[in-house]
Amino acid sequence: MLKTQLVKPVLYLVCLSLLGGCSSTSPNKLNRSSSVLKTESAGTLLAEVRPFASEGTSRWTGFGASYGPYRDGQAPGAVDPSEEELLEDLRIIQNHWSFIRTYGSVGPTEEIVRLIAEHDLGIKVMVGAWIAVEETEVEGTGVAQRFPQVSQQNRNEVDTAIRLANMYPQVVNAVCVGNETQVSWSAHRGPVRIVLDYVRKVRKNIKQPVTHADDYNYWNKPESRLLAREIDFIVWHAHPLWNGQSLENAIPWLESKFDEVKAMHPHNVIVIGETGWATQVHNEGEQARLITGAAGESEQAQFYQDIQAWSKRKQVGVYYFEVFDENWKGGPHPNEVEKHWGVYGEDRKPKEAIRSGSR
């Protein structure tokens, strides 16, 4: 999770190759029972939209969760969880959520998807393909600086997402190409044309819907229409706590941001990919300045209950952020807020949101 001006450690490296494209479809060829056609007012028509849906429905309106598998002493690019640890996590997840999202495809996600399939756990996974910065402009010159090593790692990330989607179609229900690559404050912001090239490549090579995840402060702006018209649904992030909201105002604020995004993209299905409430905030640094709402287990439990009720009332799909605390995130201080978003602790013990039976 990121918020304005917050620098988040990079989880995965992903890069884009200039491959693939989507075929044009005439409105006369639309099969309205299986796809939705975007109108010309939403932008150039590139494809029929693949529904992101629960079985037997036209769209997904459920309640899922974001899942990071790293325990104490583990981190992306360092130590991965074991198969036994992953299976323990998935058994916990199975008791509460049928839909999860991951942020990268290489590493633990491969094992996660395989274990779900082999053990018939009934969990659907939106597999992420993490996009890191493969190209930047040399300031004042207009000349692009490229990073070939990152590009190779990123191609592997994207190709792995494609492979998992095709190998486990009963588990992988979508692929999310990139996470917070376009919002102005992102530490890994890159050219939108690169994201578009990856979206087209993934969409050309899988049957599942393809999306991109970003902050509400990107999706509520006109420039986001370029990307929105080439994905099957929008995944957006909105964290009331990081945006200075009290617990009492969290849901009204969230709904107002949803309405902004929906007004900008009236023809897109919109899914919340991240929203949550932390149980600890450090009293120093940016989080101490920007976060004014009270953090704690009882506050998290209330927000968890409130967002479920809102999701059901509005019929909007939500991925709650997140399942487990992740100690590798954020700064070194143990109270760093980025370590404390889980409804389970890093030790896999449930917090009040789970103990109280909210879900």
Is 80 exceeded by the pLDDT of residue 36? no
Mean of the pLDDT values across residues 323-349? 97
Picking from 270, 215, 268, the residue whose alpha carbon sits closest to that of residue 239 is 215
User: pLDDT band for position 217 (50/70/90)?
Assistant: very high
- Give the Cα separation of 236 and 175 in Å (integer): 14
- Give the Cα separation of 307 and 254 in Å (integer): 9
Is 60 exceeded by the pLDDT of residue 40? no
Relative orientation angle of helices 148-167 and 108-118, to the nearest 10 degrees: 0
Q: Centre a 10 Å sphere on the Cβ of residue 96 and count the other Cβ atoms it contains.
A: 17
Instruction: Render pLDDT for 248-298 as a digit per residue (tens, 0 to 9).
Output: 999 999 999 999 999 999 999 999 999 999 999 999 999 999 999 999 999
Q: Are 145 and 135 in contact (CB under 8 A)?
A: yes
Q: Are 68 and 103 in contact (CB under 8 A)?
A: yes
Instruction: Render pLDDT for 108-124 as a digit per residue (tens, 0 to 9).
Output: 999 999 999 999 999 99
Count of residues for the chain?
359
- Give the Cα separation of 307 and 92 in Å (integer): 21
- Give the Cα separation of 143 and 137 in Å (integer): 6
Instruction: Render pLDDT for 50-102 as a digit per residue (tens, 0 to 9).
Output: 999 987 788 999 999 999 999 999 999 999 999 999 999 999 999 999 999 99
Residue 326's alpha-carbon distances to 76, 131, 165, in angstroms, are: 11, 21, 26
Count Cβ neighbours within 10 Å for each residue of 270-300 and write b for 16 or more, e otherwise: bbbbbbbbbbbbbeeeebeebbebebbbebb
pLDDT at 116 (0 to 100)? 98
- Give the Cα separation of 129 and 172 in Å (integer): 13
pLDDT at 47 (0 to 100)? 55
Give the tokens for residue 26. Answer: 């005439």
Is 80 exceeded by the pLDDT of residue 133? yes
Task: Compute φ and ψ for 63, nearest 5 degrees.
Answer: -130, 110
In sequence order, the 6+-apart residues with CB closer than 8 A to the CB of 170 are 117
Report the half-sphere exposure of 287 (CA within 13 A, side-chain side): 23
pTM of the model: 0.86
